[in-house]
Amino acid sequence: MKIAEIADKLGLEVVNEGQWEREAKCCYASDMLSDVLANGGEGCLWITRQSHPNIVAVAAIRGMAGIIITGGKQINPDTIEKAGQEQVMIFSTPKQTCELAGKLYMLLSNEMERG
């Protein structure tokens, strides 16, 4: 499913613009960046509460489709700047991780079950 469609359906707020036309194939939820570096899948939307600038590099290294920061957190300006440089899409939502992950999984379940 296209990122633009997902953002619309989940009411995500755009923090950093990027590749709207890109397809998200899967999602991954984790706040430990070492875990995401090891296991975050290419083309996945990544759900986290972390907003440290390192999230941008981790998403870029893993070729992830974008980052959704949950819990309505204030986002570090350095993170937004890095995301601009790396063209990594970042969204924010006041929803907590579990609720957002559940909704996102429902949207992507066909893609994810196909693997």
Binding site for another protein (CB under 8 A): 31-34, 36-37, 50-54, 57-58, 76, 78
| CB nearer to another protein: pick between 51 and 97 | 51
Compute the least distance from the CB of residue 89 to another protein, in Å: 19
| CB nearer to another protein: pick between 37 and 107 | 37
109 Cβ contact partners less than 8 Å away, ≥ 6 residues apart: none
Compute the least distance from the CB of residue 47 to another protein, in Å: 16
| CB nearer to another protein: pick between 28 and 105 | 28
In single-letter form, the type of residue at position 5 comes to E
